[in-house]
Structure 1
Amino acid sequence: MSLNVESPHQENEAGKSGFGARFALILIALLWASQLNGLIGLMTSNAQSEIAIHYHTTQIAWFGQVGLLVGVFSTPFIVKAAGMFGKKRVLVVITALGLVGDVIAAFSTNFETLLIGRAVSGFYGPSIALVYALTRDVFPPKLVGPASGFLGGGMGVLAFGGPFLSGWVLDDFGYRGVLWFMVIATGISLLALLFVVPESPVREPRTPVDWIGGILLGGGLTSVIYAVGKGEAWGWTSGRTLGFIGGGLAAVVAFVLVERKVEHPMFPIGLIGRRRVWSTFLVAGLVMGAIFAQGTVTNLLVLMPHIPGLSDGLGWTATKNAWVSAPNSILLIATSVFTGVLARRIDTRVLLAIGGTLVALGGGLLSQFHSSVANFMTIGALSGVGMGIVVALVPIMVIESVKPEEQALGNGAQNLMQGVLQGALTQVAFVLVAQNANVMKGTAFYVDDSYSKALLLFAGVIVAGVLLIALIPKSKSLDEVETGQAVEATQAA
């Protein structure tokens, strides 16, 4: 049984004095759901060096990427189902699938089975899109901005507490402990969604599913990411590489043509074709995709062993990494919460440009200076402020760009764009990192110059995203858009 949202009297109190007990509880449950992917991503990122050494594999990139591929492919179908059958209901289903995948991974005894488990858990990938859509619907209008900013700032809470948690689990229980912790974390999220979060009343009409469009879009984008990941092994000009990339791009083009003709498209071209929508998604996808991809490479840098002549990793423990990144995380949390309030008064495009510039500057400096704790802490302070601004603004800018009934589709499209760019950037970064790799006993070790090139790649992509902010037209402010449908429904009842 789910808790109902506040009564009108309680809603008024929430608007005046804060979130109130029930809204606070709902916010915590949604925060856990929104950051579960990040928590699992952080822990798997920290564990990847130990897993690569344990299984003697040079293909460790797929440990993180296989779930992303499944998430990209399934996003169109999951978002469509959420719009028709209820965002909470579908969120519960994909969380349960994520739990099944985590259990498979935890019981795995070889690298192949481990990848199967990670693939199944990838169905949980689009969850963040549904969480933000629920936030728009179940909170009173005055709380949507702060709630969205808080959820975005949850990345800072994760970045602060996650490394300590990950360090404790990994250092004391090894990678197997990480896998079992993922099971526990997903189970907690499933229970919280079932018993705390209310369902949104916003629905799309129940129409036939555009299977062809979904397969073309999800399959085409997945094909491109997969080809980028295999390009180094297959050869960038090989028939297989060009076939997967060309076939994937052709599928996306076919998707656009199909969507113009079908009666009930998977992603209406009218929505994606609006300048405010596609420009916001493009900028957010580039900046956020690069930020998350950079985290994977940075964790590899600090946690891989330092072996002169073989590996230029820093050889830190996960716990040491947690202490070094803690000040950065605190700044991220504080900045994101403050940004959620500022977004009601200052043009979000200006704020995003400031945040993106700070993140890009931090990434560029880190590419050249990453040999000491002092480097990471001083540069991390700059990046932390910038990331706090960015992660708080992205969900708010999506709310400003779409109508209530388009929210799930809008979040899904933005999440899809971000996932594709994150996956492609991660694959390209691993190609750069592996160019001068040293392989010993089946495990790849990387040199400093390769890490620098990958970090510069991310900084350059973020700069490109900041420049493209000029394409985003001015739209309604957060105070002018329609929000709080669940609360309104309660008042009407």
Structure 2
Amino acid sequence: MSEKLAVAEGASEPNAKIRFGVRHSLTLLALVWTAQILPIVSLLAGNAQSAVAIHFHTTQIAWFGLMGVLIGTFVMPFVVTAAGMYGKRRVMIVISVLGLIGDVVAALAPNYATMLVGRGIAGLYVPIAALSYSIARDVFPRHLVGPASGLMGGGLGLVGLGGPFLSGWVIDDFGFRGALWFMAIATVFSLILLITVVPESPVREERARMDWLGGVLLGGGLTAIVYAIGQGATWGWTSGKLCTYIGAGVLAVIAFVVVESRVANPLFPLAMLKRRRVWTVLLATAVVAAGVYSVGTVMQLLALMPNIPGMSAGLGWSATKNALVTSPMSVLIIVVAVVTGILARRVDARILLGTAALFAAGGFALGSHLHHSASEIIMMGLVAGVGTGMTASIVPIMIIAAVPPEEQALANGAQSLVQGVVQAIVIQLTFVVMAKGGTVLQGTQFYSDSGFSNGFWLQAGCVALGGLLILLIPRVKRLDEAEVGQAATS
């Protein structure tokens, strides 16, 4: 009883000490790991993609990472709605089990097509990050939400610091299939933590019929657009097939808006998305984060592709050397993310996001010129790392400040959906601009120095655009003004 009273008092006191008890510490540990499942998988996939491309002799390696994004985009509306009705923790467990099945299929795949099927099934747990940040609002008291979100975001730095060393060892000793099996192991560990440590959120929406038509229209429409852009270089950017897919996708999204305005229980209430405070936050954070997280595509290919004069401008590093070179950036991400979470209690989140965009775009622009040696990569990382750490921390905090608790899961899902679409498009375009001037040998795409430079410029441009979109955001609540900690105070 006294513990509950202390927590409740802490939840209502913005100046309460930032101190995690045993229960909250265990919950935080579980959510940090669960929130970073996708970065872990992305890192392993990124470090393995060169070996996968060479092993299967494919120029379509972009789909190794994007297949899961497509499926995740499609199921996101359904997962978020189910989480609101049946409980976030319960739904997180279900999609983790399904994702684990996909990991196993990919690890056992005898050919590239089967591997893509497994990666697609694994994409069913793409929404888990959005649900992790959403449930954090419900299970921590007010004075711990900011630091918890910062630590969850800072987990990206832990992944970036330890992940490359781990993946380097796995790939060097066990090949790319070892990396795929480690993805399955990471998912199993997440499942154990979810089942044993994380409490269920008490926040519920009224149970209603699932809006299947709306979900199919939205997910299908966005998937068609992303798929078409991914095939643009093959079909031709002015081809009728490309225009048909994009046109059909746009019409499906328009039809979704019409359906949502008429059904009794829409997937994403248009009233929420019409509020300026909400849609501007969703748009700006999605574009900034998409650019920040897409740069890994360029950096991993740059570091791990072989150096073949006149054909491949990769640095030819091992995954272990890449880990050593990028470790200063990873440490910086952790520190900056935690500090940002604390600052968000007092500082306007728009300023923090704008600062993140400035550092990230500047770092990527620097990388477009300086990416030929370890010292240059470190220099770029120290600038971009500040932006990455701030972005990882402030994005979920801005969602918390923009919506009330009952809309938290929907808002996180909408932000993740928009970010996923933008990120998929940016990654697809990244492969297109990098391939220009490159060479295809025995079915494998190699990249020139100018291709890598163009890739960095594309990421910098995306982040800069997101930075400009911040100007549209009206004043949002500081974190210490937001309504949080429902489960902790119950």
Which residue pairs with 1:417 in the alignment? 418
Which residue pairs with 1:263 in the alignment? 264
| Partner AA of 1:385 in structure 2 | V
Could you tell me how far apart the structure 1 residues matched to 2:336 and 2:212 are?
42
Which residue pairs with 1:429 in the alignment? 430
- Measured against aligned partners, the alpha-carbon deviations of 1:228-256 in whole angstroms (never above 9, x if no partner) come to 00011011111211111111111111111
| Aligned partners of 1:398 and 1:410 also within 8 Å | yes
TM-score by length of 1: 0.97
Structure 1 residue 435: deviation in Å? 2.1
Which residue pairs with 1:126 in the alignment? 127
Could you tell me how far apart the structure 2 residues matched to 1:440 and 1:377 are?
31
Could you tell me how far apart the structure 2 residues matched to 1:167 and 1:227 are?
33
Which residue pairs with 2:372 in the alignment? 371
Query: 1:92-241 residue pairs with structure 2 within 5 A?
Result: 92-241=93-242
Could you tell me how far apart the structure 1 residues matched to 2:203 and 2:436 are?
50
Which residue pairs with 1:8 in the alignment? 5
Could you tell me how far apart the structure 2 residues matched to 1:276 and 1:166 are?
41
Segments of 5+ residues of structure 2 without an aligned counterpart are none
| Partner AA of 1:8 in structure 2 | L
Which residue pairs with 1:396 in the alignment? 397
Which residue pairs with 1:356 in the alignment? 357
- Measured against aligned partners, the alpha-carbon deviations of 1:253-280 in whole angstroms (never above 9, x if no partner) come to 1111111111111101111111111111
CA RMSD of aligned residues (A): 1.5
Identical residues among aligned pairs (%): 53
Could you tell me how far apart the structure 2 residues matched to 1:170 and 1:12 are?
50
| Partner AA of 1:359 in structure 2 | A
| Partner AA of 1:162 in structure 2 | G
Structure 1 residue 191: deviation in Å? 0.8
| Partner AA of 1:315 in structure 2 | G
Could you tell me how far apart the structure 1 residues matched to 2:187 and 2:457 are?
34
SS of equivalent residue, structure 2 residue 36: helix
- Measured against aligned partners, the alpha-carbon deviations of 1:182-204 in whole angstroms (never above 9, x if no partner) come to 11111010111011100000000
| Aligned partners of 2:77 and 2:219 also within 8 Å | yes
SS of equivalent residue, structure 1 residue 334: helix
Could you tell me how far apart the structure 2 residues matched to 1:208 and 1:139 are?
30
Query: 1:319-330 residue pairs with structure 2 within 5 A?
Result: 319-330=320-331
Which residue pairs with 1:470 in the alignment? 471
Structure 1 residue 148: deviation in Å? 0.8
SS of equivalent residue, structure 1 residue 83: helix
Structure 1 residue 7: deviation in Å? 3.5
Could you tell me how far apart the structure 2 residues matched to 1:208 and 1:13 are?
38
Could you tell me how far apart the structure 2 residues matched to 1:445 and 1:482 are?
51
| Aligned partners of 1:79 and 1:412 also within 8 Å | yes
SS of equivalent residue, structure 1 residue 88: helix
Which residue pairs with 1:310 in the alignment? 311
Which residue pairs with 2:86 in the alignment? 85
| Aligned partners of 2:364 and 2:456 also within 8 Å | yes
| Partner AA of 1:388 in structure 2 | G
Could you tell me how far apart the structure 2 residues matched to 1:211 and 1:8 are?
43
Q: Please tell me whether residue 485 in structure 1 is matched to residue 486 in structure 2.
A: yes
Could you tell me how far apart the structure 2 residues matched to 1:198 and 1:182 are?
24
| Partner AA of 1:28 in structure 2 | L
TM-score by length of 2: 0.97
Which residue pairs with 1:3 in the alignment? none
| Partner AA of 2:37 in structure 1 | L
Which residue pairs with 1:60 in the alignment? 61
| Partner AA of 2:146 in structure 1 | G
Q: Please tell me whether residue 71 in structure 1 is matched to residue 68 in structure 2.
A: no
Q: Please tell me whether residue 45 in structure 1 is matched to residue 46 in structure 2.
A: yes
Could you tell me how far apart the structure 2 residues matched to 1:58 and 1:8 are?
60
Structure 1 residue 293: deviation in Å? 1.2
Structure 1 residue 9: deviation in Å? 4.3
SS of equivalent residue, structure 1 residue 488: coil
| Aligned partners of 1:13 and 1:20 also within 8 Å | no
Structure 1 residue 437: deviation in Å? 2.4
Q: How many residues align?
A: 486
| Partner AA of 2:369 in structure 1 | Q
Could you tell me how far apart the structure 1 residues matched to 2:18 and 2:294 are?
39
Could you tell me how far apart the structure 2 residues matched to 1:446 and 1:89 are?
44
